[in-house]
Structure 1
Amino acid sequence: MIDQLPVTLADIEAAASRIAPFVHRTPVLTSRRLDEILGAKVFFKCENLQRIGAFKARGAHNAVFALDEGAVARGVVTHSSGNHAAALSLAARNRGVPAFIVMPSNAPTAKVESVRRLGGEITFCEPTIAAREAAAEEIVAQRGATLIHPYDDPKVIAGQGTAAAELLAKVPDLDAVMAPVGGGGLMSGTAVAVHGLAPSTKIWAVEPAQADDAWRSWTTGVLTPGDPPDTIADGLRTTLGGTGFSILRALLDDFVTVDEAAIVSSMRLVWEVLKVVIEPSSAVPVAALLDRKLPSDGRRVGVILTGGNVDLEHLPWRP
């Protein structure tokens, strides 16, 4: 089964070469104080410092630059709550083609403004997966643009896996690597990279309890559509894709969920101690360490901090 996965380590290595001119090789930060609080030696891969402020720049550039001239000529389209939307806008601009972006009406203001700044043409829709997909399909029909799915696309997944590959090149002797799950693009790319480069390293996934369709799918073995997600982690308000599901079922060692209070506490903790800005989605794996949801005590754990795009007018700890 593992030999037949839709994304391979070779795909991730090819993606790394393809996207190198367009993305940052983000730093890995540590904090002795956070190690004490979290009970592990933690290495934070800071994708919050990536282009457009999130790891999504990796997958979007890989997908856009892998297209031939005929496929990309009329532009690209996607649906996204924000980070992939901005990433695709940037990748399209770098290739010189239009980007048509479907965003839910409740998308954070900071992410909407980022898309506009990067030249994406926005269509707003109701905040449901069905509405997002329908609006994107209509643009494909009208404009002839190529759909770049935000997470259920092997090229996007391969691009996202380059973050974990860089982490392991910097810190090769990790006991575990962990990341949050929304649509599954980052986590499945991470799983493929870790399995291929460090087979003895554990692969851990974390999801908000209020948006736990991926966790339920993984535990039951049946891809289960989620209820409308209601989580502060806006980047994870998606449903697990079939491509990611097949990879996570094959490669994950453990999968846990965390509550909203732990997400907020962990987000603030990273701001205050590590001195970097992260968004709620980035705090989800940190929350699992803070709440001791995984056997991490004393271990060397890599955490991918997925993004840092926050609406500063609506911080979760403000009254």
Structure 2
Amino acid sequence: MKDADMHIPTYQDMLDAEERIRPHIRRTPIRHSDYLDELTGAQLFFKCENFQEPGAFKVRGAANAVFGLDDEQARKGVATHSSGNHASCLSYAAMRRGIPCNVVMPRTAPQAKKGTVRRFGGVITECDPSTTSREATFAQVQAATGGDFVHPYNDPRVIAGQGTCSKEFIEQTDGLDMVVAPIGGGGMISGTCLTLATLAPETQVIAAEPEQANDAYRSFKAGYIIADDAPKTIADGLLVPLKDLTWHFVSNHVSQIHTASEQEIIDAMKLVWKHLRIVMEPSSAVPLAIVLKNPDAFRGKRVGLIVTGGNVDLDRLPWTPTT
């Protein structure tokens, strides 16, 4: 997709995406825990996008982009840069359509995520762990392959696809006071804003971000995009900065952005593993971490938390000692 094709996706785009991707995704379940409700003083509803076949919500936007291509472009395949989950999900969608997928990934990306990309037939080119390196390496890969660029988040097709998650969420819970999702580049948050602004305008959208990669928080406070080139956090899915399309939704529709420390993220991740008995990756634990950190903001509310992914390296869990 060329820059000239960029437009702000609409609610109708989300509905069209829902129809297009239905054969290729799962309507993921909701989980809750009496213990976590008691601990936080809120009713917490966890939308388990980690149960998607590639293990992350990003299959929604990826499938919408892949299956929206005309046959001529599809023959050239798709290409992207990603720290992991978008790469996995785009590879999965491309595999289902039978087209090539080339992805640029940081050399520091978890092996579990690289393994998933390769399992779905994606071809990986590694780069240094910075936004600058990702984008420069990607430009070379795309020039060589001619694949359609499916941006991990700053793409109207991707945002419309991600918006289908919140439509399901509202339908499955009979309404929520708040929806909390992690924020990195802002694809899921943007899709959430897109859907809820029309379907449930009374529902607040709250973004959750690591303290050590808090450029969205600082952007929100400043009123313009502040981009960090190479932040470091265990929440490896939240390392990228906002872009123009996602900033549109964040600046116009997000009610608040809260941040959590590395230890708070790990503690929340442990709680979910123990009490919900599901595998989530660190990025997915940030929403619960901010609820635990800011109890007065959520107490007595019906709060939806999007578990964005479960692609974690089981041999390198963040609470295990490294040698």
TM-score range normalised by the length of the shorter chain: over 0.9
The equivalences for 1:144-155 within 5 A come to 144-155=146-157
Is residue 104 of structure 1 aligned with residue 106 of structure 2? Answer: yes
- Distance in 2 separating the partners of 1:137 and 1:172: 44
Find the counterpart in structure 2 of residue 15 from structure 1: 17
Runs of 5+ unmatched residues, structure 1: none
The equivalences for 1:218-237 within 5 A come to 218-237=220-239
Structure 2 counterpart SS, 1:20: helix
8 A Cα contact 2:40 2:295, kept in partner: no
Match of 2:201 among 199, 202, 212: 199
8 A Cα contact 1:288 1:294, kept in partner: no
Find the counterpart in structure 1 of residue 176 from structure 2: 174
Is residue 276 of structure 1 aligned with residue 278 of structure 2? Answer: yes
Structure 2 counterpart SS, 1:255: strand
Offset of residue 142 of structure 1: 1.2
Find the counterpart in structure 1 of residue 304 from structure 2: 302
Runs of 5+ unmatched residues, structure 2: 1-6
Offset of residue 96 of structure 1: 1.1
* TM-score, scaled to structure 1: 0.97
- Distance in 1 separating the partners of 2:67 and 2:12: 17
8 A Cα contact 2:215 2:241, kept in partner: yes
- Distance in 2 separating the partners of 1:39 and 1:18: 39
The equivalences for 1:210-289 within 5 A come to 210-289=212-291
Structure 2 counterpart SS, 1:303: strand
Find the counterpart in structure 2 of residue 135 from structure 1: 137
Match of 1:93 among 92, 95, 111: 95
* TM-score, scaled to structure 2: 0.95
Structure 2 counterpart SS, 1:317: coil
Distance 1:142 1:294, change over 3 A: farther
- Aligned-residue sequence identity (percent) comes to 49
State the aligned residue count: 315
Distance 1:217 1:293, change over 3 A: farther
1:184 partner letter: G
Offset of residue 293 of structure 1: 5.9
Match of 1:77 among 72, 76, 79: 79
8 A Cα contact 2:78 2:101, kept in partner: yes
1:95 partner letter: R
Find the counterpart in structure 2 of residue 51 from structure 1: 53
1:142 partner letter: A
- Distance in 2 separating the partners of 1:183 and 1:196: 22
Q: What do residues 165-195 of structure 1 show as CA deviations (whole Å, max 9, x unaligned)?
A: 1000111321111100011000110111111
8 A Cα contact 1:175 1:300, kept in partner: yes
Offset of residue 227 of structure 1: 4.3
Q: What do residues 84-143 of structure 1 show as CA deviations (whole Å, max 9, x unaligned)?
A: 001010111111110001110001010010011110011011111111111111111111
Structure 2 counterpart SS, 1:73: helix
Offset of residue 71 of structure 1: 2.0
Q: What do residues 204-255 of structure 1 show as CA deviations (whole Å, max 9, x unaligned)?
A: 1111111011111111111111142111000111111211001111111111
- Distance in 2 separating the partners of 1:200 and 1:137: 41
- Distance in 2 separating the partners of 1:107 and 1:179: 21
Structure 2 counterpart SS, 1:240: coil
- Distance in 2 separating the partners of 1:93 and 1:313: 27
Structure 2 counterpart SS, 1:314: coil
Mean Cα deviation higher: 14-23 or 225-234: 225-234
Structure 2 counterpart SS, 1:239: coil
Q: What do residues 294-317 of structure 1 show as CA deviations (whole Å, max 9, x unaligned)?
A: 611011000100000110111111
1:150 partner letter: P
Offset of residue 287 of structure 1: 0.2
- Distance in 2 separating the partners of 1:186 and 1:294: 25
8 A Cα contact 1:204 1:252, kept in partner: yes
Distance 1:130 1:293, change over 3 A: farther
1:218 partner letter: F
1:222 partner letter: Y
- Distance in 2 separating the partners of 1:163 and 1:177: 11
- Distance in 1 separating the partners of 2:224 and 2:237: 23
Mean Cα deviation higher: 220-229 or 252-261: 220-229
- Distance in 2 separating the partners of 1:294 and 1:222: 28
CA RMSD of aligned residues (A): 1.1
8 A Cα contact 1:79 1:132, kept in partner: yes
8 A Cα contact 1:60 1:91, kept in partner: yes
1:15 partner letter: A
- Distance in 1 separating the partners of 2:16 and 2:217: 30
- Distance in 1 separating the partners of 2:238 and 2:253: 20
Offset of residue 150 of structure 1: 0.5
Find the counterpart in structure 2 of residue 61 from structure 1: 63
